[in-house]
Copies of this chain bind each other. A is one copy, B any other.
């Protein structure tokens, strides 16, 4: 950027500041720490088995996170939509190799920040701890909702729940991704849709 702020970083800052205004000094630390990357459909952000010591934010595009079942089948663990944060949580938290692959399913722009820089900001500016706290709690609620869905709904109900929860995804991702996300087979999903 010759002069002025990278618009993608600007966008991320605005997204954080929906609930709280960040002090100028925090913003400056963030701006210095964030990297912006443009990615194309099919690109891989994090490969299973590699280290994921970054936290990401999706500016625009669409991302899928998946892992492999014992028999080799891919299982979608989540979809990431615009303005959402993502990472391999387990790898990021425990400093272990990623158990998942993060892949681009529509051309995307992502921001990333290294774990050490992220923690450095929190340490220096506790308000950023608060912000982080809010986001991870929101994520916990989402995870609990998904457990409820998987625990107690039939295949048909799962699909209806998916349409209601992720209305923007239904015509953007292939059915096999949705099927494994819901814990059902492609054929069952195909039949349900009629």
Min CB distance A56 to B, Å, is 15
- The digit string for A121-132, where 1 denotes a CB below 8 A from any CB of B, is 011001001101
Residues of A136-182 whose CB lies within 8 A of B: 136-141, 143-144, 146-148, 150-152, 180-182
- The digit string for A49-70, where 1 denotes a CB below 8 A from any CB of B, is 0000000000000000001010
Q: Which B residues lie within 8 Å of A138 (CB)?
A: 93
Residues of A95-151 whose CB lies within 8 A of B: 122-123, 126, 129-130, 132-133, 136-141, 143-144, 146-148, 150-151
Are A93 and B147 neighbours in the complex by a CB distance under 8 Å? no
A42 at the interface (CB under 8 A from B): no
A75 at the interface (CB under 8 A from B): yes
- Complex Cα spacing A82 to B94, Å: 22
Q: Which B residues lie within 8 Å of A90 (CB)?
A: 141, 144
- Complex Cα spacing A172 to B38, Å: 52
How many copies of the chain does the oligomer comprise? Answer: 2
- Complex Cα spacing A63 to B138, Å: 24
Q: Which B residues lie within 8 Å of A132 (CB)?
A: 133
- Complex Cα spacing A47 to B94, Å: 34
A83 at the interface (CB under 8 A from B): no
Q: Which B residues lie within 8 Å of A136 (CB)?
A: 133, 136-137, 140
Q: Which B residues lie within 8 Å of A130 (CB)?
A: 122, 129
Min CB distance A12 to B, Å, is 20
Given contacts A75-B151, A89-B140, A122-B133, could you give 7 more A-B pairs where the C-beta distance is less than 8 Å?
A89-B137, A90-B141, A93-B138, A122-B129, A132-B133, A136-B140, A152-B183
CB-CB nearest 5 A-B residue pairs = A126-B126, A150-B150, A129-B129, A143-B143, A151-B183
